[in-house]
Amino acid sequence: MTAVKALREAWGEILVEMAQTNPHILVLDGDLASSTRADIFADAFPDRFLQMGIAEQNMAGVAAGLATLGFVPFISTFAAFAANRDLDQVRVVIAQPRLHVIITGGYSGMLTGKTGKTHQDVSDMSVFRAMPYMTVVAPADAVELRQALQVMVSQPGPYYLRLTRDPAPIIFDEGYRFGLGRGVVLRKGTDVAILSTGVQTVRCLDACDELESQGISPYLLHLPTVKPLDVEAIVRAASETDAVVTAEDHTIIGGLGGAVAEALGEHRPTRMRRVGVKDVFGESAPNEPILAKYGLSARHVARAARELIGRES
Amino acid sequence: MTINPTRLHELEDMARRVRRHILTTVHAAGGGHVGGPLSATDMLVALYFHILNIDPTNPQWEDRDRFILSKGHSCIALYAVMAERGYFPVSELITFDGIDSRLQGHPDMARLPGLDMSTGSLGQGLSPGVGMALGARLRNKPFTTYVMLGDGECQEGQVWEAAFVAARYRLGNLVAILDLNRLQQYGWQEPGGMRPPLDDPRRQWEAFGWQVSVVDGHDITSFVEALSTARQESDRPAIVIAHTVKGKGISFMEGDYSWHARVPTDVELARALAELELREVQP
Ligand SMILES: Cc1ncc(C[n+]2csc(CCOP(=O)(O)OP(=O)(O)O)c2C)c(N)n1
């Protein structure tokens, strides 16, 4: 049985641990702590948990002000609000002066616990990737998240951290080393490369199992940061297989799929398929029907891989 | 924090110098704002030469008072004041709005040491001020954070998000200054400018739990007094509502919205500078 942990819960717990030795860490909440699990931090450090109310634009500005005093503030709200409601504030007072603020988008992607399109965000990575100076981090599991947090807290600058709501299997062991702009090869096949980010990588591992059972040899590259992007690893994956499928719980425009297409277009044109949300908003429903309807499941990834290499019957 | 007559005379003199810098710099750059900077000049001079606990030779000094010009488009006035105060040479003003200049069209803290926050997108400055005041409390720092707002700017909802949180956290170390000149860029241009409820900012800010005082923003003595009173209360943020005149100091610019961001012609510049000189000889 693999261990399972929701990224939001891991985030709250890891921050509490880190805050014990790092007095600069603060958490600002947009009245969602019980969902985002910032409440774990609030319980442990009530004085370092700042309730900003339902006012995300102000929250971004307050975080900027705190950052100028040497604090490391986490802004915590849903991805849908973090990447939309406060965007001009993030641009002007966080990104432009390169302040050390970690914008934490909980409940990213389509799987937001039956809240529907207002609370789903499928363009957060595109939006923040396009914003100068912003680093975009989407960990696959709690182990990677822990390491990513250590890097983000110790290296100043503006970050967008993409988290998800539901329990997800732990896929990395404790020996794993996260690096900004460093992809990780999880399968070393030769027929087709699957490139993914965030928790979607877990579903891609299942897709690889399916492909292998059909006699297809998949390469799997996990990219925890769409910016900076590990172009070298992407080109290597393309060179090994001559066929690249990207997969993300996010729009195929401008996020991982867009970034990979741009990189390969410039450095090694390669046939491609982008698996992700196809320029539509979502709806409220349980996870499985959502993954099935919007083409995000492991089976969709596997099918796209077979189609790309002409092995779909 | 009272001001004796000699000191007052010096500050008024400085304000005239700053107004000259504003006009000549915008004229030379062929761009920039004029009306809002002139409206804020006397208050900026009072702040940087009499109120703020700052050290221009050590702009990152941790315990300095913080100042945020939320109405960032008025930055040429701030640059002129900072130059006169010794943050950088007055001769650098000529680089305003030029390529690679530290004196950007809107304040850029990543370029110019001494700027405590980048601004320019209106409505945003009070929130970082709240962050600084909260941070000062968490770090046990005695400094005060000042934020200057435009009246038009207060049409932005974010200002009120920040006003709410500042009162909720009882930020007695936060002081806002409202440059109430009743005009904005285009807005409502009739004489007297805006209409209620913005005409009654006192009631608005009081309703949000702020300590409010109302002064003439061109009367340096009462402005300074209002600020020292504002700082005395320890568990409420304070706002000094300063009645001002947009384009103040130049007769043909005063109260005319069209001077918000207009570059004076050579003739207009000469007339304006002559007016400032005239004021110098008859205080
Ligand atoms: C968010 C935003 N919207 C519009 C502008 C363009 N703009 C610059 S100054 C200004 C008017 C500001 O009026 P006010 O705050 O009253 O300042 P003042 O009259 O003192 O110049 C406008 C609309 C801006 N800078 N930011």
Query: Contact A92/B126, CB-based, under 8 Å?
Result: no
Give ligand 1 pocket residues (Cβ under 6 A): B 35-36, 39, 71, 73-74, 120-123, 150-153, 179, 181, 183-185, 246, 260
Interface residue of A93, A98, A99, A100 to substitute, partner B, most B CBs within 10 Å? A93
A89 and B124: CB-CB below 8 Å? yes
Mean pLDDT of A146-170: 97
Residue in B closest to A47 by C-alpha: B138
For the CA of B106, the closest atom of ligand 1 is 25
Q: How far is the CA of B231 from the centre of ligand 1 (A)?
A: 27
DSSP B117: S
A18-22, A61-65, A265-269, B183-187: segment of lowest average pLDDT: B183-187
Predicted confidence (pLDDT) per residue in B17-31, tens digit: 999 999 999 999 999
| pLDDT at residue number B234 | 86
Residue B189 pLDDT grade (very low, low, confident, very high; cuts 50, 70, 90): confident
DSSP letters of B175-210?
EEEEEE-S--SSS--STT---TTTT-HHHHHHHTT-
**What's B74's domain CATH number?**
3.40.50.970
pLDDT at B124 over 90: yes
Segment B32-59 shows an average pLDDT of 98
> Mind giving me the DSSP string for chain A?
---EEEHHHHHHHHHHHHHHH-TTEEEEESS-HHHHTHHHHHHH-GGGEEE--S-HHHHHHHHHHHHHTT-EEEEEEEHHHHTTTTHHHIIIIIITTT---EEEEES-BS-SSS--TTT-BSSHHHHHHSSTT-EEE--SSHHHHHHHHHHHHHS-S-EEEE--SSEEE--S-TT----TT--EEEEE-SSEEEEE-TTHHHHHHHHHHHHHHTT--EEEEE-SEEES--HHHHHHHHHHHSEEEEEEEEESSSSHHHHHHHHHHHH---EEEEEEE-S-------HHHHHHHTT-SHHHHHHHHHHHTT---
Structure pTM? 0.94
Chain B contact set for A61 (CB, 8 A): 124-128, 130-131, 158, 162
Say yes or no for a CB contact (<8 Å) between B134 and A65: yes
Please state, in angstroms and rounded to a whole number, the distance separating the CA atoms of residues B218 and B46. 10
Going by the DSSP 8-state scheme, the letter that residue B42 receives in this structure is H
pLDDT, averaged across chain B: 94
CA angle B278, B281, B283 (to 5 degrees): 95
The distance from CA A200 to its chain's CA centroid, rounded to whole angstroms, is 9
User: Domain residues for B118?
Assistant: 5-281
For the CA of B36, the nearest atom of ligand 1: 21
Structure-block tokens of residue A224: 């925890």
Nearest to B85 by CA among B149, B10, B146, B2: B10
Tell me which of A17, A56, A144, A212 is the catalytic residue.
A56
Please check whether residue A67 touches B, CB under 8 A. yes
Say how far apart CA A124 and CA A105 lie, in whole Å. Answer: 8
User: What average pLDDT is seen over chain A?
Assistant: 97
* B109 pLDDT more than 80: yes
Nearest CA in chain A to B62: A69
CA A272 → CA A54, A175, A197, B153, distances in Å?
42, 32, 16, 48
pLDDT, tens digit (0-9, with 9 covering 90-100), for B88-98: 999 999 999 99
The beta-carbon neighbor of B161 closest among A48, A58, A96 is A58
Tell if the CB–CB gap between B168 and A53 is shorter than 8 Å.
yes
The predicted pLDDT at position B283 comes to 44
A285-294: average pLDDT: 96
Under DSSP, is residue B211 helix (H, G, I), strand (E, B) or coil? Answer: strand
Q: Which two tokens stand for residue A304?
A: 């796209």
Mean pLDDT for the stretch of residues A19-25 = 98
Is there a contact between A62 and B128 if contact means CB atoms under 8 Å apart? yes
What pLDDT is attached to residue A124?
Answer: 98
What pLDDT score was predicted for residue B191?
A: 67
| A123 contacts A117 by C-beta, under 8 angstroms | no
A88 shares contact with chain B (CB less than 8 Å)? yes
Contact A222, A196 (CB under 8 A): yes
**Interval between CA B27 and ligand 1 midpoint (Å):** 20
Q: What would the pLDDT profile of B225-270 be if each residue is shown by its tens digit?
A: 999 999 998 899 999 999 999 999 999 999 999 999 999 999 999 9
Percentage, residues of chain A above pLDDT 70: 100
- For chain B, the domain total comes to 1
Mean pLDDT to the nearest integer, B136-158: 97
**N-terminal to C-terminal alpha carbon distance within chain A:** 33
* Closest residue to atom 18 of ligand 1, CA basis: B36
Q: How confident is the model at residue B278 (pLDDT cuts 50, 70, 90)?
A: confident
Residues of chain A in contact with residue B132, where contact means CB-CB under 8 angstroms, are 65-66, 68-69
Mean pLDDT in residue range B94-119: 97
ipTM of this complex prediction, to 2 decimal places = 0.92
CA distance A50 to chain B (A): 9
Rg (CA), chain B: 18
Q: Examine the residue annotation and report whether A210 is marked as an active-site residue of this protein.
A: no
Q: Is the pLDDT of residue B190 over 90?
A: no
Q: Round to the nearest angstrom and report the end-to-end CA distance of chain B.
A: 23
From the CA atom positions of chain A, what is the Rg in Å? 19
Owner of token pair 């038009």: B152
pLDDT in tens, A121-151: 999 999 999 999 999 999 999 999 999 999 9
A219 pLDDT more than 60: yes
Please name the residue that has the structure tokens 């909802």: B157
Total beta-carbon pairs less than 8 A apart between chain A and chain B: 108
How far apart CA B249 and CA B272 sit, in angstroms, is 9
Give me ligand 1 centre to Cα B121, in Å: 8
What gap in Å lies between CA B75 and CA B159, rounded to an integer?
Answer: 19
A83 burial (CB, 10 Å; 0-12 / 13-18 / 19+) is buried
pLDDT for position B188? 81
